[in-house]
Structure 1
């Protein structure tokens, strides 16, 4: 669960810092690099907007989520549908989330690509403690594959660096989400639910 919370938050950023460094850039690959960074940014922005179909379409058929830096355990291989199911169990419970990414370093090799980037996630939810904000910072390692003209994420690892504010905010958001979200047909194992949860709860 913590993984789901961490993932969604750290991953969905409305404002993106455009500091892209392309490694081993070859003529003709600049457009592909832009598509790659746009795919990653779209996941964050669409998650913040709760535009689940857009998020789902940004993933490959199978995605490895690695949030072990926050939650321990092992990475999980999940379908886009399973990831969205998990994220819906927490993100809608926040009043708002804002993910910001930057310092992209992209390497393109044929129909495969790797991206290194930094991210910051702000989570806001008024509560009785008066401590309404949860901030998570860290870096990401993302692998993508090209499907047709589009790049899809098939590996997503978050490296936790720091978290501040109300560390219980994710639990409060989950409680809120459970009150308003219907049961999904997609079932997750306890392990996979933990991994996806950390994705949005980061750190």
Structure 2
């Protein structure tokens, strides 16, 4: 059952971001989470609160008319109240002028069980390819 709950938590991150369901998105994260998007943006990983994560994603995603983040090929390892889920992804971002930017690669999610629910404590996005206008 843990495996399914973990996969569901990771999938919900993509779903809530695409649907612009910001409060539900924030609820998926632990009190602090480390985000590592350095393969795409350079820089260093950052540790943020759920509110900070949502504000950053809201700002970035609202530049697009629509987005679709698809996750698949989930691999889950559970160790007590901790877990790691890796998944492939493809993310399409469409602007109002119909131009598209599509990105593919992998995600690594670190999770903890707290209060009987799985929360994300870390996300590492590794970009492997992209196509179109960013």
Structure 2 length-normalised TM: 0.96
List structure 1 segments (4+ residues) > 2 angstroms apart after TM superposition: none
Partner of 1:82 in structure 2? 52
The answer on 1:138 being equivalent to 2:99 is no
Unaligned runs of 5+ in 1: 1-30, 168-203
Residues 44-63 of structure 1 mapped to structure 2, 5 A cutoff: 44-63=14-33
Q: 2:130 aligns with which of 137, 140, 163?
A: 163
Q: Aligned partners of 2:132, 2:108: CA distance in 1, in Å?
A: 25
Superposed CA offset, 1:99-157 (max 9, x none): 10000000000000001110000111133xxx611100010111000011110000100
The answer on 1:33 being equivalent to 2:10 is no
> Which structure is larger by alpha-carbon Rg, 1 or 2?
1
Partner of 1:178 in structure 2? none
Partner secondary structure for residue 90 of structure 1: helix
Q: 1:152 aligns with which of 96, 119, 122?
A: 119
Looking at both structures, which has the greater relative contact order when contacts are Cα pairs under 8 Å and sequence separation is at least 6? 1
The answer on 1:43 being equivalent to 2:10 is no
Q: Aligned partners of 1:77, 1:126: CA distance in 2, in Å?
A: 32
The answer on 1:96 being equivalent to 2:66 is yes
Unaligned runs of 5+ in 2: none
Q: Aligned residue pairs: how many?
A: 134
How far did residue 94 of structure 1 move?
A: 1.3
Partner of 1:113 in structure 2? 83
Q: Aligned partners of 1:139, 1:152: CA distance in 2, in Å?
A: 19
